[in-house]
Amino acid sequence: MQRTNKHKHRVAIIGGGFGGLAAARKLRGADVDVTLIDRANHHLFQPLLYQVATGILSEGDIAPPLRELLRDQRNARVLFGEVIDIDLEARRLKVTTLDRTSEVRYDSLIVATGSSQSYFGHPEFADDAPGLKTIDDALEVRGRILGAFEMAERENDAAARRRFLTFVVVGAGPTGVELAGQLVELSRRALRNNFRRIDPAEARVVLLDAGPAVLSAFPEALRQRAMLDLEDIGVEVHVDTAVTHVDRNGLETDSKLPSLRRIEAATKVWAAGVQASPLGRMLANAGRFEIDRAGRVHVDADCSLPGHPEVFVVGDLMHLDKLPGVSQVAMQSGRHAADTIRRRLEGDSRHRPFRYRDYGSMATISRFRAVAEIGRSRLAGFPGWMLWLVVHLAALADFKHRLSVFSNWTIGLLGGGRAERVITLQQVFGRHAMSERSGPPNSAGQGAPLKSDRVPTVR
């Protein structure tokens, strides 16, 4: 980082997700020095996380390294680290990587740190019902799902076997719907003939939502179609059902149906609710800015912080005009912020409000079935699915990843199998249980058997 008065205009971008990466790319060729800071080394394509969790794609398919994506952009550098402090007055960031802390100075700042899972005041649910927000989450969920089938195969007790073969997804937005659909595909199709004592097709997939409908942001006709499609493929859908308790063996709900008050299920996945990144609260505390209930920062019409025109907040962390937390909002607001910085440097200081262009939304339900709303057009079934396929392929960050995703999809579609089924003991039993291994490692480097009560007796 140059510290003389002659330095170029320094743009710091926190977060290399949809908003941050779009902003960095928009500054390509500009007479600025861009520093993109992220605590992950990759740009994550979150919409396909559920496919990593169900073994269709590898984590590498949806998470290209940020350095690779910005390789040819000479004015941009990537800094691997977590921003832990923003000093708005001194225009300085504190960035930490393990035990190393450094400072980054900026002239313009774009904050694009997104959001995380919200458990609606019950953070304790997270241990037994992981969310789906990061690569770590997706690999953990994959370990739990595939591990549950393995455990069921080894289980002698019918009730326990049933519990291992019950999968509950909480939250019927696009992620929940897509994950539930893929769980059915996995059990009925991909795992066929893989086991000898259980029939994976007997798996029960339950989708719960506290609201009155699935895909609540979609038009009524598409919501109904999605509901019919889900039930048709074998997902058990229960709306108006809020989860009140989660534990290792299942969960409890406020349902009026006695059979749903407690569901015995080894695998629960949380796909309900988001909460803005803690950097929103940090900014609010630093400058007395307003944040909403989800922790998103209220910004001016051009996405800048009130009283700090050099700081922009974009994407999921931004609260502006009730815009939804979707990738298009993040990318367009990131580009808008970058464009504003560019224009100002060229002497154009006119105030330009951010205008969001809504290209529509879509969700896939299973192979050959999806719902999509593009402008006034509504598509369902096979045409919706084809559109979903094309749009998601095109939206991936680079050609190499489009190619590998396409080839994995082809394997899945033609052969019915899953390319990515590796699971580790740590994912199945959890880090905690692994550390319960007693005794010194044996000659093979393995410890004594796990003490975990999750290990059933084999006949």
Catalytic residues, which ones?
178
**Binding status of residue 17 toward ligand FAD by CB under 6 A:** yes
| Interactions with ligand FAD, residue window 390-429 (CB under 6 A) | none
The number of angstroms, rounded, from the C-alpha of 110 to the middle of its chain's C-alpha atoms is 21
Q: Which is nearer to ligand FAD, 250 or 325 (CB)?
A: 325
In the list 58, 75, 224, 327, the residue contacting ligand FAD (rule: CB under 6 A) is 327
Closest CB 134 distance from ligand FAD, rounded Å: 8
In the list 24, 27, 38, 225, the residue contacting ligand FAD (rule: CB under 6 A) is 38
**Binding status of residue 364 toward ligand FAD by CB under 6 A:** no
**Binding status of residue 316 toward ligand FAD by CB under 6 A:** yes
In the list 10, 12, 13, 15, the residue contacting ligand FAD (rule: CB under 6 A) is 15
Q: Of the listed pieces 10-18, 161-169, 251-259, 262-270, which binds ligand FAD according to CB under 6 A?
A: 10-18
In the list 108, 166, 277, 332, the residue contacting ligand FAD (rule: CB under 6 A) is 277
In the list 8, 9, 40, 360, the residue contacting ligand FAD (rule: CB under 6 A) is 40
CA distance 263 to 135: 28
Closest CB 267 distance from ligand FAD, rounded Å: 17
* 3-state DSSP of the chain: CCCCCCCCEEEEEECCCHHHHHHHHHCCCCCEEEEEEECCCECCCHHHHHHHHCCCCCHHHHCCEHHHHCCCCCCEEEEECEEEEEECCCCEEEEEECCEEEEEECCEEEECCCEEECCCCCHHHHHCCCCCCCHHHHHHHHHHHHHHHHHHHHCCCHHHHHHHCEEEEECCCHHHHHHHHHHHHHHHHHCCCCCCCCCHHHCEEEEECCCCCCCCCCCHHHHHHHHHHHHHHCEEEECCCCEEEEECCEEEECCCCHHHHEEECCEEEECCCEEECHHHHHHHHHHCCCECCCCCEECCCCCEECCEEEEEECHHHEECCCCCCCHHHHHHHHHHHHHHHHHHHCCCCCCCCCCCCCCCEEEEEECCEEEEEECCEEEEHHHHHHHHHHHHHHHCCCHHHHHHHHHHHHHHHHHCCCCCCCCCHHHHHHHHHHHCCCCCCCCCCCCCCCCCCCCCCCC
| Interactions with ligand FAD, residue window 91-120 (CB under 6 A) | 112-114
Binding mask 436-455 for ligand FAD (x = CB under 6 A): --------------------
**Binding status of residue 166 toward ligand FAD by CB under 6 A:** no
Report which residue's Cβ sits closest to ligand FAD. 17
**Binding status of residue 229 toward ligand FAD by CB under 6 A:** no
Q: Of the listed pieces 12-20, 164-172, 338-346, 450-458, which binds ligand FAD according to CB under 6 A?
A: 12-20
In the list 65, 250, 306, 325, the residue contacting ligand FAD (rule: CB under 6 A) is 325
CA distance 79 to 46: 21
Closest CB 422 distance from ligand FAD, rounded Å: 21
Closest CB 38 distance from ligand FAD, rounded Å: 4
Closest CB 370 distance from ligand FAD, rounded Å: 11
User: How many positions of this chain bind ligand FAD (CB under 6 A)?
Assistant: 34
Closest CB 395 distance from ligand FAD, rounded Å: 9
Binding site for ligand FAD (CB under 6 A): 14-20, 37-40, 44, 46-47, 49, 82-83, 112-114, 132-133, 174-175, 277, 279, 315-317, 325-328, 330
